[in-house]
């Protein structure tokens, strides 16, 4: 076995462990980054929790997977964030150290740990074993910049001003900031994680990677690069969606939910070009029943075809008679292959919560956005979509925080209209091209990845 492993190692330039935080929106980009590194000749071992081990093994193709413990090997449903994070830090540090020593004994030594910024203790493990560490931030450069400033004490909380000026960023309203800042008292554990834990040892990391591309966030990236050696490596989506299929780059992707791929793709195949409104709020956001109802009737009112992802846990909030009344125009599914959907020629626009992955995926595939941010970094992403990249509009809520059906149908009419939505469509096309350029041979993200790989050995 040992000889076999050593022979294997000879064909690789270096060995990286990749550790995503175990939720959908963090595993996806780190898995894609892993694929990209593997394509460059790096040996990759993806490391996940025991609870997700099997699922990830099925999703990650030829990339090997190992498990460590977050302390909740049977699942952590219902565990408070602060307790979970502390337990993961403790059990994760111990079991990650054991894993690295085991791999060393097997003749498969590790050179570098690429770890999710939500797992900052991985750097301590790396350093204690004499390894290098690369931190991977799954959120936008702008959002990381906001958290970094808050960490450095440059944002006085609670916010006293309605508008804040942060270097490298346009003026932002308090409501444009991530909810973990604007409403920090409601999320003490996550505030501690994003503002302090993930920034506490950032200066000691050997590399700092952001899942974005240079042109998309040029100004803020330049500003941050003056302080920290940040490198953009995104968009971390499979190469086939960037019209640049790398030979051995299979589309590995994780679905923590059961995907209704067949039903959804054959429904889309029946639709004409740019005719469908796609609606999805990612893996975590929970709309309240009133908002679901307004959205439902807003979609119906717009009279466009719509494909709506309503996760199983949310489906009891759909208005009773809605399914029947809308079956001629809409398809509701519990999960779909989102990239495949966004890349489909029938896509007209995307009503999204503006999670960073969804935002970056829409930008990279040239799909106009109607933003309905819910919490975390989504308000900041929505602000950039509307005012900086200009690839969409924000559906504005009323004084009770609900986006009403009329607003939704008006937004759809505007974005879907060839004339009124023309500027947005042109911008969407522009960012799609720039995403491709970043990813292409010699592009900014490609160069950063190659530079990293060259320094690993």
Which residues are catalytic, by number?
26, 116
Q: Do 63 and 39 touch, CB atoms closer than 8 A?
A: no
Least distance in angstroms from the C-beta of 238 to ligand UDP: 11
Interface residue with ligand UDP among 209, 278, 356, 439 (CB under 6 A) is: 356
Considering only 27, 28, 133, 214, the residue that binds ligand UDP (CB under 6 A) is: 28
208, containing H or E segment: strand 207-210
Residue from 338, 346, 364, 427 touching ligand UDP (CB under 6 A): that is 338
Tokens representing 116 are 């999710």
Please give the size of the binding site for ligand UDP, defined by CB under 6 A. Answer: 19
Pairing type for strands 163-164 and 172-173 reads antiparallel
Nearer to ligand UDP, 24 or 275 (CB): 24
Kindly give the interhelix angle for 356-365 and 24-39, rounded to the nearest 10 degrees.
50
**Which token pair is 362?**
């829409």
Both tokens of 376, joined, read 């975390």
Residue with tokens 């969606």: 241
At its nearest, how many Å lie between ligand UDP and the CB of residue 340?
A: 9
Decide if residue 131 touches ligand UDP (CB under 6 A).
no
Candidates 9, 12, 13, 24: give the one binding ligand UDP (CB under 6 A). 24
Produce one character per residue of 304-333: b if its CB has 16 or more CB atoms within 10 Å, e if not.
Answer: bbbbbbbbeebeebbbeebeeebeeebbbb
Minimum CB separation of residue 5 from ligand UDP in Å reads 33
The three-state DSSP-derived secondary structure of 294-346 is HHHHHHHHHCCEEEEECCHHHHHHCCCCHHHHHCCCEEEECCCCHHHHHCCCC
Q: Please identify which residue in 49, 60, 140, 358 interacts with ligand UDP, judged by CB under 6 A.
A: 358
Among 147, 335, 350, 384, binds ligand UDP (CB under 6 A): 335
The residue among 25 and 348 lying less far from ligand UDP, judged by its C-beta, is: 25
Instruction: Report how far apart the first and last C-alpha atoms of the chain are (Å, whole number).
Output: 24
The nearest distance, CB 418 to ligand UDP, in angstroms, is 27
Interface residues for ligand UDP in 360-419 (CB under 6 A)? Answer: 361
Instruction: Kindly tell me which of 283 and 448 has the beta carbon lying closer to ligand UDP.
Output: 283
Q: Distance between CA 262 and CA 255 in Å, rounded? A: 15
> At how many degrees (to 10) do helices 444-456 and 24-39 cross?
70
Residue number, 71 or 355, with CB nearest to ligand UDP: 355
Instruction: Write the DSSP symbol of residue 161.
Output: S
Stretch that binds ligand UDP, among 55-63, 238-246, 297-305, 356-364 (CB under 6 A): 356-364
Structural tokens at position 266: 């054959």
In terms of CB distance, is 82 or 337 closer to ligand UDP?
Answer: 337
Q: How far is the CB of 231 from ligand UDP (least distance, A)?
A: 20
Q: Which is nearer to ligand UDP, 302 or 378 (CB)?
A: 378
**Least Cβ distance, residue 253 to ligand UDP (angstroms):** 7
Task: Return the bridge partners of 104, or none.
Answer: none
Rounded to a whole number of angstroms, the minimum distance from the CB of residue 406 to ligand UDP is: 26
CB of 94 to ligand UDP, least distance (A): 28
C-alpha span between 125 and 282 (Å, rounded): 32
Closest CA to 7 of 102, 111, 108: 108
**Taking CB under 6 A as the criterion, which residues in 220-249 touch ligand UDP?**
none
- Closer of 69 and 379 to ligand UDP (Cβ): 379
Q: How far are the Cα atoms of 53, 178, 343, 363 from residue 374, in angstroms, in the given order?
A: 30, 10, 24, 19
Stretch that binds ligand UDP, among 43-51, 314-322, 354-362, 417-425 (CB under 6 A): 354-362
- What span, in angstroms and rounded, lies between the C-alpha atoms of 90 and 206? 23
Residues 274-333 that bind ligand UDP (CB under 6 A): 280, 282-285, 309
**Residue of the chain from 22, 178, 235, 355 that contacts ligand UDP (CB under 6 A):** 355
Which of 357, 380, 425, 448: binder of ligand UDP (CB under 6 A)? 357
Please identify, using beta-carbon distances, which residue of 7 and 288 lies nearer to ligand UDP.
288
At residue 414, φ and ψ (nearest 5 deg) are: -65, -50
- Residue closer to ligand UDP by CB (options 128, 288) is 288
Q: Minimal distance in Å, beta carbon 24 to ligand UDP?
A: 5
276-280 and 347-352 beta bridge pairing: parallel
Stretch that binds ligand UDP, among 23-31, 67-75, 190-198, 267-275 (CB under 6 A): 23-31
DSSP H helical ranges for 52-178: 53-59, 81-105, 121-128, 141-151
Q: Read out DSSP for 225-282?
A: HHHS-EEE----S-GGGGT---TT-------SS---HHHHHHHHHTSPTT-EEEEE-T
Cis peptide before 158 (omega within 30 of 0): yes
Binding site for ligand UDP (CB under 6 A): 24-25, 28, 280, 282-285, 309, 335-339, 355-358, 361
């Amino acid at each position: 076995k040992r000889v076999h492993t050593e022979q294997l190692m000879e064909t690789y330039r270096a060995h990286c462990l990749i550790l995503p935080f175990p939720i959908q929106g963090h595993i996806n980009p780190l898995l894609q980054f892993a694929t990209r590194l593997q394509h460059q000749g790096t040996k990759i071992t993806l490391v996940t929790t025991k609870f997700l081990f099997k699922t990830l093994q099925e999703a990650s193709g030829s990339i090997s997977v190992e498990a460590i413990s977050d302390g909740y090997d049977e699942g952590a449903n219902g565990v408070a964030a602060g307790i979970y994070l502390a337990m993961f830090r403790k059990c994760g540090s111990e079991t990650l150290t054991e894993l690295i020593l085991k791999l060393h004994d097997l003749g498969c030594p590790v050179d570098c740990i690429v770890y999710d910024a939500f797992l900052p203790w991985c750097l301590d493990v790396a350093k204690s074993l004499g390894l290098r560490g690369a931190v991977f931030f799954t959120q936008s450069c702008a959002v990381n910049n906001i958290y970094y400033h808050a960490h450095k004490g440059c944002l006085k909380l609670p916010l006293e001003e309605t508008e804040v000026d942060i270097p490298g960023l346009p003026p932002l309203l308090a409501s444009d900031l991530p909810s973990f800042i604007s409403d920090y008292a409601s999320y003490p554990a996550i505030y501690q994680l994003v503002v302090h834990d993930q920034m506490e040892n950032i200066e000691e990391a050997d590399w700092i990677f952001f899942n974005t591309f240079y042109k998309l966030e040029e100004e803020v990236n330049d500003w941050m690069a003056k302080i920290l050696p940040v490198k953009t490596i995104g968009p971390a989506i499979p190469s086939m969606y960037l019209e640049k299929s790398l030979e051995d780059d299979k589309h590995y992707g994780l679905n923590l939910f059961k995907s209704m791929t067949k039903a959804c793709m054959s429904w889309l195949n029946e639709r004409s070009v740019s005719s469908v409104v796609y609606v999805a709020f990612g893996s975590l956001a929970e709309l309240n029943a009133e908002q679901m109802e307004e959205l439902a009737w807003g979609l119906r009112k717009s009279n466009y075809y719509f494909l709506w992802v309503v996760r199983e846990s949310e489906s009891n909030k759909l208005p009773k008679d809605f399914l029947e009344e809308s079956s001629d125009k809409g398809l509701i599914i519990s999960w779909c292959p989102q990239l495949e959907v966004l890349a489909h020629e029938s896509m007209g626009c995307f009503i999204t919560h503006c999670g960073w992955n969804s935002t970056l995926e829409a930008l990279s595939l040239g799909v106009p956005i109607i933003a309905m941010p819910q919490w975390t970094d989504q308000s900041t992403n929505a602000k950039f979509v509307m005012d900086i990249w200009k690839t969409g509009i924000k559906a504005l809520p009323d004084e009770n925080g609900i986006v009403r059906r009329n607003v939704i149908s008006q937004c759809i009419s505007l974005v879907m209209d060839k004339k009124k939505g023309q500027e947005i469509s042109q911008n969407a096309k522009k960012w799609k091209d720039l995403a491709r350029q970043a990813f292409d041979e010699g592009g900014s993200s490609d160069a950063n990845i190659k530079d990293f790989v060259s320094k690993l050995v």
